[in-house]
A and B are shown apart, each in its own frame.
Chain A
């Protein structure tokens, strides 16, 4: 495989980032955007947010949103390469850490680790959301959808999937009457 093979780049890019996905896949969304849009120009800003949104509506772990980006980049092979490289590194780590599970979760320092990661994950998630919003929000209607959903998800316990569907319908309706 040559140096500039897109598969090697996908494997290194997603595989490396996956080990920094503190709190879950959403933490690395901003850096994934940098990777697939800014660095390698595999897709446009608009493509990036559309694919992420469609993948979010599908059931399953968030990490698999990146699999759909892999599909967009290189079809089935891209999907498999991205999935493997985004899932395998943290999974292997979890496997070996899990073997020390009992000692680990009862260790006196464990609550401090959890407490320390909390505010970091809050910062990373909101930042990733803002980066996604910058890519998605091309007009007043989109900004209103983002703000509305953010407020709703912050304060409601209902299933967030409905927000995505409502946002999609609002986007479609607004476009059909020419609003922007």
Chain B
């Protein structure tokens, strides 16, 4: 689970000439921010009282702790903040046990918006009220925003250089593949029932091919999909 922490050293190194984009990393990383966690996470909540955590949980005492913790999550979150959030909140700072974390992430994922951004607000509020929520939010946003601004300045200055454009466009092609892969990867954790395949295909075709505005898709598909899930649950 430690994942993201030991790899930035080789980031700028010499990636060999590759015809297919095979990464050179040796750091395994769990799913970054998976909106639909496997069904097992639903049942694990009920076990929260019976299974004791391996080490005592130490909730953040000050808003500053929350700020610094989420600052770390933001800075370690290369390639997605899902893995670093888990590491910092459960393993390093021990704010929560894994069961509570699962429940927190489940709610954060069901709501619109960034999962970890939502989690920072809910977790902060839970421990220290409004102050905690603001501290968590500031922590998760501050460092990445500064880096984004820096990259924006660099892009303004060097973005017209042909080699920068070629490299960034290659990165863009990879980013597109990353999004498709993230979606397909999530699809592997969804039960391949007829209704699930139908919902996935309809929303894919509507957004990707027919260019239906997202609010319309979401407005129709959320009630439909949840309704079908409840109906399937009852049968």
Contacts and interface: CB of A to CB of B under 8 A. Distances in A.
Interface string A55-89: 11111111110011001100010010001000101
B109 A23 contact: yes
Nearest to B225: A116
Interface residues of B, number: 128
B162 A175 contact: yes
Contacts, number: 492
B144 A58 contact: yes
Size category, A interface: 35 or more
A131 interface: yes
B174 A167 contact: yes
A48 B108 CA distance: 28
Interface in B72-107: 74-81, 83, 103-104, 106-107
Given A46-B169, A123-B203, A136-B172, A67 B148 contact: yes
Interface centre among A89, A109, A152, A161 (most CB of B within 10 A): A161
Interface string A4-41: 00000000000011111111111111110010000000
B172 A132 contact: yes
B24 A166 contact: yes
B208 A127 contact: yes
A49 B175 contact: yes
Contact of B173 (A131, A160, A167): A167
A173 to B, nearest CB: 6
A7 to B, nearest CB: 16
A91 B151 contact: no
A110 B46 CA distance: 13
Given A95-B133, A122-B183, A160-B79, A56 B175 contact: yes
Contacts of B215: 16, 20
Interface centre among A18, A24, A97, A163 (most CB of B within 10 A): A24
B64 interface: no
A65 B106 CA distance: 23
Contact of A119 (B125, B133, B196): B196
Interface string B201-232: 11111111101011101100110011111100
Interface of A is mostly: helix
Nearest to B170: A171
Contact of B107 (A30, A105, A109): A105
Given A71-B152, A152-B181, A171-B171, A119 B24 contact: no
A132 B179 contact: yes
Nearest to B192: A119
Given A144-B20, A150-B184, A161-B78, A23 B35 contact: yes
Interface string B148-174: 110110011001001101111111111
Interface of B: 3-4, 7, 11, 15, 17-25, 27-33, 35-37, 39, 42, 45, 74-81, 83, 103-104, 106-118, 121-122, 125-126, 133, 137, 140-141, 143-145, 147-149, 151-152, 155-156, 159, 162-163, 165-191, 195-197, 199-209, 211, 213-215, 217-218, 221-222, 225-230, 233
Given A46-B165, A59-B78, 6 more contacts: A60-B141, A68-B148, A91-B118, A116-B222, A133-B180, A175-B162
Which 7 residue pairs across A and B have the least CB separation, nearest first?
A171-B170, A167-B174, A60-B144, A90-B113, A153-B181, A162-B23, A149-B177
Interface of A: 16-31, 34, 46-47, 49-64, 67-68, 71-72, 76, 79, 83, 87, 89-91, 93-95, 97-99, 101, 104-106, 109-133, 135-138, 141-155, 157-176
